[in-house]
Structure 1
Amino acid sequence: MFNLAGYGPTILAGTLTTIELSVLTLAVSFLIGLIGASAKLSRSRIAVGVATVYTTIIRGVPDLVLMLLLFYSLQIWLNDLTDALGLDQINLDPFTSGVITLGFIYGAYFTETFRGALMAVPRGQMEAARSFGMRRFYAFRRILFPQMMRYALPGLANNWQVILKATALVSIIGLSDIIKATQDAGKATFRAFFFSVLAAVVYLVLTTATNGILLMLERRYAIGVRKPAL
């Protein structure tokens, strides 16, 4: 039952690809989320409008549809750019396309997570930091960001779990992740059910292991916070 019919190395490589894709997507989503939240909370109506349209469209369209639209759009836009500049055509590989596309999609969810977290931090914290002469970036890094993360981590943990599972979507654009590896193994060996269960177990192990890391981060950012009495 546990014989992988020679597909063990392929499935291991697919698992590593899934992990790498998830981590890089998290980084891109994190950055976009910070920018989007800052735009939504800014005094610029244009920035607020652009950020609102972005989050509304992304969260209102199914991820699979967005994946296909963005994947093919990226290549078309890149081809148009290289043609306009008279350069040779550049083909995006599925991994890079997957990171950019998933990062752009889940950046909308991170935007709302960070927006709520930033609003939860008392405004007087930044005003006090500025009154002591701290530069804006230094005050953000030392004062605002740690407090924001305390409120954002539960939402970030949920978003991370969704991102990890959503990487399965990249199999439709040809990336050899854990889903494609197990599907190929299942078709070749006529044991599709077994390899599908194996993929599910791999995802379960990854989400369970990362849950422990996220709990450690929650404790780290909760230092000095009084717990509510039961």
Structure 2
Amino acid sequence: MEALIAYARPLAQGAVVTVGLAVLSLALATLLGGLGAYGRLGGGRFGAWLVFIYTTIVRGIPDLVVILLVYFGGQRLVNTLAAALGAEAGFQVSPFVAGTVSIGFIYGAYLTETFRGAYMTIPRGQIEAAQALGLRPAPLLLTVTLPQLVRAALPGYANVFQVLVKSTAVVSVIGLADMVGIANSAGKSVREPFAFFVAVMLFYLLLTWASTTIFETLERRYARGFANAR
């Protein structure tokens, strides 16, 4: 316990890094998932094919492999391009940036299917009726499609975020000073790894509990609003 107290500040800083990594990765995954769902549903044959390749490949590769590819491969790619342009090489990819891009890219594939499935649950007749009433694409999206899409996608979206949060722990292997990385270093230095990883376990349990509570509240609110609208 004394060792944990001594490292309380670094652990707290690592916890902030972990939360920031999870939130930014989720934002990127949401963007990619939305674009991917649009490509599958309205991007034509070529767009649907590209998204299918993306989701199939990403979901078949371990998270750690993608993170290592982005971190080391990204550095090599940028330095190769810099050398080809006559610029000075030696560019370093930040572990935080590499982790955010990797996790966002991975879970964008899962959210693509989540959003596509949610859109498929919307009755086609509602969209056609709104179009017959003269609703333009933007008002139709905001008043008819999006509210129902959010309601249908929230359970799957919450599940994806739960898995995404746990994946942030893997980023410590490329040197990110997150909760896991700091706990690992501190535990080795004071020879008390068990105490530090118990603290990490409790932190992740707290984080997943808080996110579950937030998403369940949102699900109830959207379900209540949908029932009132009917």
TM-score, length basis structure 1: 0.92
Letter in 2 for 1:15: A
Letter in 2 for 1:71: Y
CA distances 1:171-192 after superposition (whole Å, capped 9, x unpaired): 0111101000111110011101
CA change 1:86–1:184 in 2 (3 A) is: same
Letter in 1 for 2:78: L
CA change 1:84–1:135 in 2 (3 A) is: farther
Matches within 5 A, 1:187-226: 187-226=188-227
CA distance in 1, matches of 2:110, 2:2: 38
Letter in 1 for 2:155: P
Query: Which residue is equivalent to 1:59?
Result: 59
Q: SS of the residue aligned with 1:4?
A: helix
Which consecutive unaligned segments of at least 5 residues does structure 1 have? Answer: none
Query: Which residue is equivalent to 2:75?
Result: 75
Letter in 1 for 2:34: L
CA distance in 2, matches of 1:5, 1:178: 15
Matches within 5 A, 1:84-123: 84-89=84-89, 90-123=91-124
Supply the RMSD in Å over aligned alpha carbons: 1.8
Deviation at 1:56, TM superposition (A): 0.6
Return the structure number with greater helix share. Answer: 2
Q: Which moved more, 1:49-58 or 1:117-126?
A: 117-126
CA distances 1:57-111 after superposition (whole Å, capped 9, x unpaired): 1111111112212222222222233334444444321111111111001100101
Which consecutive unaligned segments of at least 5 residues does structure 2 have? Answer: none
CA distance in 1, matches of 2:7, 2:176: 16
TM-score, length basis structure 2: 0.92
1:29–1:104: 8 Å Cα contact kept in structure 2?
yes
Deviation at 1:35, TM superposition (A): 0.6
Total equivalences in the alignment? 227
Percent of residue pairs bearing the same amino acid type = 44
Query: Which residue is equivalent to 1:125?
Result: 126
